[in-house]
Amino acid sequence: MLLVIIVIIVFFLLISIKQINQYERGIKFTLGKFSSIMNPGWNIVIPIFQSYSKVDIRTKAVDVPEQEAITKDNVSVRINAVIYYKVFDAGKCILAVENYFYAVSQLAQTTMRNAVGAVSLDELLGEREKISTEICNIIDQATDPWGIKVENVELKDIALPEEMKRVLAKAAEAEREKAAVITKAAGEVEASLNLAKAAETMNKTPGALHLRTLATINDVSSDQSNTIIFALPIEVLRAFERAGESKSISLEDVSKLLEMKEKH
């Protein structure tokens, strides 16, 4: 009889030992009431009188299903995200909410739709990190009473309708054309200023224009396939004509005529 009692005691003792792993915490209930949190290791849970639940305290990555939302400027988009959270109070996540995994997922979906509806499409595309931070802060404040800490929220993808994609492509193309026209105009302004400065310098320097003309003719004459037509003032031709008739005009007269033509 004593042996039977010892066997029964040992049996109850063995089934009363519950192991809690390092990444878990146990919630012990005695007669249906919360009594303590079980730390990692072996813990005694008396059958019939006590029960327990395990809670994983590791960081969890939850994929938020794709949601359809309307932005502030009435553009329909589809977005999905991933949320990272962990349990910091095992007692609250069991006592305060029925299914914390499902509750966090539903809260993330609702918050994500509300956050997208508060911004325009340009803000959604250009300030993705800022919006993710705002969603993270909102969910974190809402889940604090549940003993859950939201570490990060990342918007994975933003899907736009095909019509909106074409509109954005046209807008981007127009912006590039605008930048090209502005750059070209700026280059023409700079070139005109340089030409004006060069013309002023040549005007102040006697003979500079003639030297520039000769240099240009020399550059063109390097290719023998080109034909150069050199225009002379009509006064010079008439001076040569008079020289052929009277033989009285001198080289000094021709030079004076050229100088007069240059001044005019």
- Residue 104, CA atoms < 13 Å, CB-side half-sphere: 30
Alpha helices, H only, the chain: 2-16, 90-95, 100-117, 121-126, 128-143, 162-204, 208-221, 234-246, 251-263
Residues 6+ positions from 18 with CB-CB distance below 8 Å: 26, 38, 42, 43, 44, 45, 52
pLDDT digits (tens, 9 = 90+) for 41-92: 988 888 888 889 999 999 998 888 888 888 888 888 888 889 999 999 988 8
Phi, psi angles (nearest 5°) of residue 83: -120, 135
pLDDT digits (tens, 9 = 90+) for 206-231: 777 667 777 777 776 666 676 766 66
Residue-level pLDDT at 221: 67
pTM of the model: 0.61
Are the CB atoms for 107 and 81 separated by under 8 Å?
A: no
Grade residue 236 by pLDDT with cuts at 50, 70 and 90.
Answer: low
